[in-house]
Structure 1
């Protein structure tokens, strides 16, 4: 079953990994970032080798987005970001797992300082 792991964050300045650019992440000592980076690289290696990683992409800053809407008069085009929320979509991973529990296990490992992780199943 396919799932998308959505990474919501508000780094300042916008950068990746986002946890290095959030207030919570900036407060951590370098050793904690290094340990988190190693754990994340290990996770990516594991899900790549198992075939569970389908695709991943870090996203550019929300201000670079273009929004397309609809009205009876025609398409509406405006500059982003779409949401006025504090956190924005920073990146995503598409995974394909045998069970929902495995998807939850993987997604939990994406938790990071100053960010929220959303796990959402694909439509079946």
Structure 2
């Protein structure tokens, strides 16, 4: 089953990896960031080798977004992020895991300092 792991973060300024730009991330020593980077690279290697990693993308600064809303029978474009929130979507990973438990095990490793990982099953069309 396919699952999307959504990474939400509030980095200041917006950059990747987001954990280095959050208040929590800036408080960590460089050695901890380096260890976390190595662990994350190992996780991505494991997911690639197992065939569970389908695709992934980091997203640009939410300020560069254009939002399209349906209004009066037509679409209306507006600049900037969708919502006035602290956390914005920083990126996503699409994984294909045999069980929900495996997807949860993987997703738990994506939360970092100052960021939240959301696991959501892909919709199955019937």
Same fold, TM-score > 0.5, yes or no = yes
| Corresponding pairs, count | 124
Q: For 1:20 and 1:68, how far apart are their aligned partners in 2?
A: 31
Report what 2:8 is aligned to: 8
Mean Cα displacement is larger for which, 111-120 or 72-81? 72-81
Q: Tell me the SS of whatever aligns to 1:12.
A: coil
Deviations 1:33-71 (A, max 9, x none): 000000000000000000000000000000000011111
What's the CA shift for 1:74?
1.9
Cα distance, 1:73 vs structure 2: 4.5
* Unaligned residue ranges in structure 1 (runs of 5+): none
Q: In structure 1, the residue corresponding to 2:45 is in which secondary structure?
A: helix
Deviation at 1:88, TM superposition (A): 0.3
Tell me the residue number matched to 1:59: 59
Moved over 3 A (4+): none
Query: Cα RMSD (Å) of the superposition?
Result: 0.7
Query: Could you list the per-position Cα deviations for residues 59-114 of structure 1 after superposition, in whole angstroms to 9, with x for gaps in the alignment?
Result: 00000000111112521110021111100000000000000000000000111000
Q: Does 1:18 align with 2:7?
A: no
Aligned to 1:106: 106
Please give the secondary structure, in 2, of the residue aligned with 1:69. strand
Q: Distance in 2 between matches of 1:20 and 1:102?
A: 27
